[in-house]
Structure formats: structure tokens, C-alpha cells
Structure 1
Amino acid sequence: MLSYLESGKGIPVVLVHGNFACKEWWRELLQDPPVGAWLLAPDLPGFGESPAPEDFIPSIPAYAEALRIFLREKGAEEAILVGHSLGGAVVMEAAHTKVRGLVLINSAPPSGLNTPEAYYPILESYRHNREALGQALATMAPTRRPPWFPELVEKAQRMHPVHFQGNAQALAAWRLEKAYSGPVLVIHGSLDPLVTRAMAEETAAFFPRGKLLVLETTGHSVNVENPGALKGILEGFLKEVQGEVQGGR
């Protein structure tokens, strides 16, 4: 069972964190959930308080399977899946016909995300260099970081040891084979130093019902930079999904 946080009542909305992250990256949204949403924020295997086997090999399909099991255990298979960064790849891979919609926040594109070989030793060094890790994570939230940001850095450094390089390798090896057919909202922060506007456009174009929303004053992590704006976006998406259900689409 994955460790998780929850709040609110209504349609299940499952929040999936990115690399070097955990369920706490959604803390402020969980404290003030969107109207009509039952928020569930799990830790993927090897992150936060969710253990992973010592010989665990990170892969997007492995994370997606863990997420599918979590959805079944919580009775939330008809959820809206929200994925941030690496979590975007996970929810794309995990989506099935019962899922009501996808929200992809500065997500890795369906074609995968390559990390230059020269960066892998740097990723590994973060296991022992908290200051450098903190600086790297700060660039992923350039416009605002919550008061407990040092806690997020500490939790990042406690990831499963194989994650430091293994998650970048997993994203480089991954390709999405089949496009989810339901509504997909792609959110892109224009100040993101990692995921480009072109990648976000590629992601939206991949899905038959993909839409792109660009946030001009946000970086990679609207979930910590502007959780109030994310709440409003999710409320709008919830209304869209509910309207489709009522209309029998």
C-alpha cells in the first residue's frame, strides 16, 4: 500500500508527484481542496514514506502499475489523474477507460525526456550534497517556495538510492504507446527551465482531446508556486468532466 494524504469530498482526484518529490508537494492544495474533489496524494514507490524493494528498478510502467493498484485499493478507478513532471508520464501510462480525465503539469512528453549523460554524476551527487540538491529543486519553483521547502529537500534526499539516476534513465527509456481518449489538460509554466513550450505543445497534440494552458508567470511547479491558481484550474476541469457525465458523452 502506498503512503498517501487525502482531503475533500466528491470526485476522486489523484495527485501524482514528480522526481525528487513526494506527496508533500501538494500540501497547500490538500489544505484548501477544490470544491467537489476528493484529493488523494500518494507517494510512489521509493519516495516519501512508500518503500520500494532494495533491488527496485525504476520504470514508468512500474510506477504506473503501483498507481493502478492504489486506485483499485481506494475505490478510485474513475478518478481524474493529475501528474506533475515525472508524475505526468506515470498518469499517462496508468490511464485506462474508467479514468475521467488527465491533468498534466509541466509533464515529460509522451516521447520521453532525455537527460544528457554529463548530468548523471550530478544527479548522483545529490545523495550526499543537500545544498546542491536544494539549489536544484529551487530552480524548479522559481517564483515561490513555501516555508517548509527545506522539508521537501530533506525528503528528496531520502529517496531510494537508485532513484537519483534511475528516474532520469526511466524517462529516457519510456515512450507512450497509446493515447488516452478522454479530456486532457496540459498545464505549462512558461518559466520552466526543464520542460519547454514545444514539449508541452507536443503533449497536448498527442491526445485527441488535449488542450494546452500556458501560465506566463509560473515555473515548473505550480503546485507549490501558486496552489490557489491550481485549485481554480482543477475546479474548472471538474465542471467540464461533470458536464460530460451529465450529458452522457
Structure 2
Amino acid sequence: MSETESPAARAVPVVPPGPPPRPGEGERLRTVSVPGATLTVRYRPTPDPGAGPALLVHGLGGSSQNWSPLMELLADDLDCEAVDLPGFGESPPPDDGDHSITAYARVVIRYLEAAGRGPVHLFGNSMGGAIVTRVAAVRPDLVRTLTLVSPALPELRPQRTALPTALMAVPGLVPLYARLTRDWTPEQRTRELLALCYGDPQRVTPEGFARAVEEYERRLELPYFWDVMARSARGVVDAYTLGGQHSLWRQAERVLAPTLLVYGTRDRLVSYRMARRAGRAFRDARLLTLLGSGHVAMMEDPDAVARAVRELLADTATTSERSATPRG
């Protein structure tokens, strides 16, 4: 069995809920129906009518709010939309209860087809990185460029700090965890997640922390919150163990779109050492390694990520112009 076909260690990356934007920050929400799901889409109108379309996909436990800092910085460059995957953020669970990576990729494809915005600049963080990798592999016609922030691709030797989150994928343990931590305050839960996902949790302002706590409180009141977390965690594990042509690493090799890979050196969930393997797997890859950043670089260091995205856009535009220039 080749390395790309080997069963992966079962570490499941988790993304904290992001603080909701302040009123008047320029973001809007709309609800969209696609076959099998109802989606909430967060968007920020761009002043440039010619800006390229972009779709941003969050990770396990996250929401479209995780992309708000980056969307604001890229407002002059891209027409950004961020989707709440079924069961996360403001989106209800899918009709069929399927929270696999393949099912989420299918939802993203259906949305892109319905919206008619493709090909788009596609972004994914953590579990969202696995989802959009699959989308880019099976539907290259829908993807112009690909940006992956700490993508949840299988690791043979995961970091020790990532292993506890794998317990969410074990049947029955999420409800047990919910009962054992029922006395935890939203502040305590939020603080634990930020410590896990940020390289330096002190970068979160008091105002940002308060808004994150408010969002976490809202989610805990949802009757399906823990069930969606458990099902989605099992979906990530199942995707990690697939071999052959369905392996996420094999699908990474099929991606044609120019790809930006973003890793943080203090990521406790996805090791930055995976950057080397990812750089080999994606055929047209650029790598940004952020010293001191953790699992959610687009929230922790959005300026650096935005600069790298602009460089990717410029490189892609230059390549397209050269391809379109007649040779005489």
C-alpha cells in the first residue's frame, strides 16, 4: 500500500466560532436553497464590479464568520462570499443527515452551480480545506484558484495535541463530553478553543472574545449542535481512511488550479510539517508559512494571508495574459 493510500491517524481539527461582525461592518446575510440543504451565505459587496468571485468554506465547529477579517481585507480584490455549511453557523442540518466530506463537497458544488459564479477563487480552512480540495479535484471547471489554510489532509503521525479532538468521532463520546462539561461556562469553552486554535490567544481582543462567547452561547442552545459535531467529526475520519482514487492526497494530485498553502508554525491541530508533503501533492503550489500562527491564520494573521492571496491573484492574471498573447 502506498503512502497516500495508508489509513490516516484519526486527529480531527476543530475551528472555534468566530466573533460576529459589528453592526455596520458591511457584511450581509442571505438564505439560499439547494437540493437537500438550506444555506446561509455571508457576503460583502465589493466596490469593484469586475472583481473575481470567491467562495470561502469554514472548518469543523466554525462558520462563515471565521472569514470576516480576510473578507474585509480582500474587499477591493475579490467579490467574497462565505458559506455556513449545513448544521453550522446559521444553516440548519442537511435534509438527509449526511455530514461526510463528500456530502459537504456536493453542497458546495450545488451552490456554485445554482449561483452561476464559477469558476471562483475557492478558499478552505481545516475541514473546509478537505472539502474544497475534493471540489477542485472533481470539478476543475468551477475553480479558478485554491487557497488552503491548515487543510485537514491525512497525517500519518499527527501531533499529540490534536489527538484529543479525535474522540469526537467515537460514537457516544460527544454526548458524554457534553454531559461532563455541562457546568462549563461559555467563557470557559471559548477560552479552551482559542487556546487550541490560536498560536497566540492574546491576539484576540477583549471585544472579540466577548463576541465569540456570545456566538458560542447561541450555538449551545441549538438542539442539533452536539450531533452535528459528532457526525462531522466522523465524516472527517472516514475521509482520512479512504484509499485509492478517493484518498484526499490522491485528489490533491488531481487539482489543476493554482494553489496557495498556508500553515502556521504553532498549529496544534495540523502540523506545519505537512506543508512539504502538500507542496509536492498540489501540482501548482505556493507556500506561506507563518511564524507563531496557529490553526486559523485567516483570523489570527489576516494581513499576511491577504498579501499572499493578492500575490496569487497577480501571478494567475499574469499567467493568463501570457497564455492569451498570440505568438508570432
Q: Give TM class, smaller chain.
A: 0.7 to 0.9
Shift in alpha-carbon separation, 1:30–1:152, aligned structure 2, 3 A = farther
Q: Is residue 102 of structure 2 the alignment partner of residue 37 of structure 1?
A: no
Classify the secondary structure of the residue corresponding to 2:140: coil
Note the C-alpha offset of 1:16: 0.7
Q: Is residue 145 of structure 2 the alignment partner of residue 101 of structure 1?
A: yes
CA contact (8 A) 2:187 2:213 kept: no
CA distance in 2, matches of 1:117, 1:215: 23
Which entry has the higher C-alpha Rg, 1 or 2? 2
Structure 2 match to 1:222? 297
Give CA-to-partner distance per residue, 1:43-94, whole Å, 9 cap, x none.
0111111112465131001000111111122222211111000100010011
CA contact (8 A) 2:112 2:118 kept: yes
CA distance in 2, matches of 1:118, 1:164: 11
TM-score (ref. length: structure 2): 0.68
Structure 2 match to 1:172? 237
Which residue of 140, 146, 149 maps to 2:197?
140
Give CA-to-partner distance per residue, 1:105-127, whole Å, 9 cap, x none.
01111569895697236654258
Structure 1 match to 2:41? 4
CA contact (8 A) 1:45 1:52 kept: yes
Which residue of 217, 234, 237 maps to 1:154?
217
Shift in alpha-carbon separation, 1:88–1:152, aligned structure 2, 3 A = farther
The percentage of aligned residue pairs carrying the same residue is: 28
TM-score (ref. length: structure 1): 0.88
Shift in alpha-carbon separation, 1:118–1:28, aligned structure 2, 3 A = closer
Flag structure 1 segments of 5+ consecutive residues without an equivalent.
none
RMSD (CA atoms): 2.6
Superposition map of 1:198-237 within 5 A? 198-237=273-312
Letter in 1 for 2:125: H
Give CA-to-partner distance per residue, 1:154-194, whole Å, 9 cap, x none.
35544643222222211111132432122111100111001
Give CA-to-partner distance per residue, 1:194-240, whole Å, 9 cap, x none.
10023232222211112322101211111211222222221111112
Q: Is residue 170 of structure 2 the alignment partner of residue 119 of structure 1?
A: no
Note the C-alpha offset of 1:18: 0.7
Structure 2 match to 1:82? 123
